């Protein structure tokens, strides 16, 4: 029913924001023909700036054969954007009514064998596909930001999704140079975002309690677990940390510590004071650097890490 995922040459990316623009840049760098749909021509300058920024890093990482900015078409006409698409990556605003309307329209315009992947980070596919007349081919394909650099894509279907569409999406994203994670079931926040949010809640609690500043927290992460997590996730980091006994030793020795009152997993009350502490702390870290400079610096360092991993095998 579905195309051979390795035969796809034409991708449509919907959305003009950092995720939509980032996806467009990623697919261009992998040698696809890309049609990008933006809602209004006023979004074009911001979209182009995202692709321009991404392209610097993508060229440093190395472009696939045939990759070219000339293979990008940008349009405000949804029907034109979907014409001839062999895969669609949807990155519309995170509002359920917008996505449901969009999927209902795509159900009318796209052949049933064309898979649609949603970049949503907070909605479920069961909700999104509710008004689509062809829901079986609709999946979540949730990236990490920036999607043109970070490989992860979390994939899961909704209640009406064909399992074959989920498997197809996994194969396609892998062919497109991503690291797909096919999830076992729909859960709020997927996998990586839930882990990230747990860390974020702990950070907010420490700032609220006066235990650490935003700068303290980022120093601790950058110089502590972050470098290790590039090569080992949390589970394997603890498995290897305990020597030959592995995770069994870890849990047997440190299991009681799980009950110690270190963590505060409930979300803190976002008071005006906490809000101001976070904003002031982050503005202090940023100094006089603007968004473009900080994003470029971030991307260059991620590229260096990715290239180092490649060289190390």
68 part of a folded domain: yes
Same domain flag for 279 and 240? yes
pLDDT at site 257: 79
187 part of a folded domain: no
Please state whether the predicted TM-score (pTM) of the whole model is above 0.85: yes
Between 254 and 73, where is the model more confident? Answer: 73
Instruction: Provide the residue range defining the domain that includes 171.
Output: 5-182
Cis peptide preceding 285, ω within 30 of 0? no
pLDDT at site 237: 87
Q: Which of 182, 203, 221 is the last residue of a domain?
A: 182
The pair of three-digit structure tokens given for residue 255, joined into one six-digit string: 């299991």
Mean pLDDT of 123-136: 96
274 part of a folded domain: yes
CATH code of the domain in which 253 resides: 1.10.1040.10
pLDDT at site 265: 78
CB 126 within 8 A of CB 159: yes
Between 102 and 307, where is the model more confident? Answer: 102
Q: pLDDT band at 103, cuts 50/70/90?
A: very high
- Rounded to whole angstroms, the Cα distance separating 130 from 126 reads 6
Same domain flag for 76 and 162? yes
pLDDT at site 124: 96
Residue 69: pLDDT above 80?
yes
67 part of a folded domain: yes
Same domain flag for 133 and 168? yes
How does pLDDT run across 180-191, given as a tens digit for each residue?
999 999 998 899
Q: Which of 125, 153, 182 is the last residue of a domain?
A: 182
How does pLDDT run across 38-67, given as a tens digit for each residue?
999 999 999 999 999 999 999 999 999 999
Q: Could you tell me the maximum CA-CA distance found in the chain, to the nearest angstrom?
A: 61
Same domain flag for 212 and 174? no
How does pLDDT run across 186-239, given as a tens digit for each residue?
998 899 999 999 999 999 999 999 999 999 999 999 999 998 888 888 888 888
Within 13 Å of residue 242, how many CA atoms lie on the same side as its CB? 16
The pair of three-digit structure tokens given for residue 236, joined into one six-digit string: 């394997």
pLDDT at site 224: 92
Tell me the three-class secondary structure of 164-201, residue by residue. HHHHHHHHHHHHCCCEEEECCCCCCCCCHHHHHHHHHH
Same domain flag for 66 and 172? yes
pLDDT at site 201: 93
Beta-strand relationship, 87-90 and 72-75: unpaired
């Amino acid at each position: 029913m579905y195309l051979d995922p390795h035969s796809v040459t034409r991708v449509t990316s919907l959305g003009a924001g950092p995720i939509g623009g980032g996806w467009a840049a990623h697919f261009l760098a992998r040698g696809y023909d890309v049609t990008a749909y933006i809602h209004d021509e006023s979004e074009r300058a911001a979209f182009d700036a995202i692709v321009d920024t991404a392209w610097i890093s993508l060229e440093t990482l190395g472009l696939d054969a045939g990759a070219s900015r000339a293979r990008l078409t940008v349009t405000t006409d949804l029907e034109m954007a979907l014409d001839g698409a062999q895969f669609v990556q949807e990155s519309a605003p995170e509002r359920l009514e917008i996505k449901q309307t969009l999927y209902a329209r795509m159900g009318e315009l796209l052949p049933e064998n064309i898979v649609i992947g949603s970049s949503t980070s907070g909605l479920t596919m069961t909700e999104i596909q509710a008004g689509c007349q062809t829901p079986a081919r609709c999946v979540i394909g949730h990236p990490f930001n920036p999607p043109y650099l970070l490989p992860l894509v979390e994939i899961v279907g909704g209640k009406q999704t064909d399992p074959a569409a989920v498997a197809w999406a996994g194969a396609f994203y892998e062919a497109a140079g991503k690291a797909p994670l096919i999830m076992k079931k729909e859960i709020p926040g997927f996998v990586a975002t839930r882990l990230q949010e747990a860390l974020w809640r702990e950070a907010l609690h420490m700032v609220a309690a006066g235990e650490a500043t935003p700068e303290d927290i980022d120093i601790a992460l950058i110089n502590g677990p972050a470098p290790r997590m590039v090569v080992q996730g949390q589970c394997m980091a603890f498995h290897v940390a305990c020597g030959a006994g592995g995770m069994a030793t870890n849990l047997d020795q440190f299991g009681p510590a799980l009950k110690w009152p270190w963590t505060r997993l409930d979300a803190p009350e976002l008071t005006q004071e906490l809000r101001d502490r976070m904003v002031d702390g982050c503005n202090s870290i940023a100094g006089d650097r603007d968004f473009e400079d900080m994003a470029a610096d971030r991307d260059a360092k991620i590229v260096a890490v990715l290239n180092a991993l490649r060289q190390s095998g």
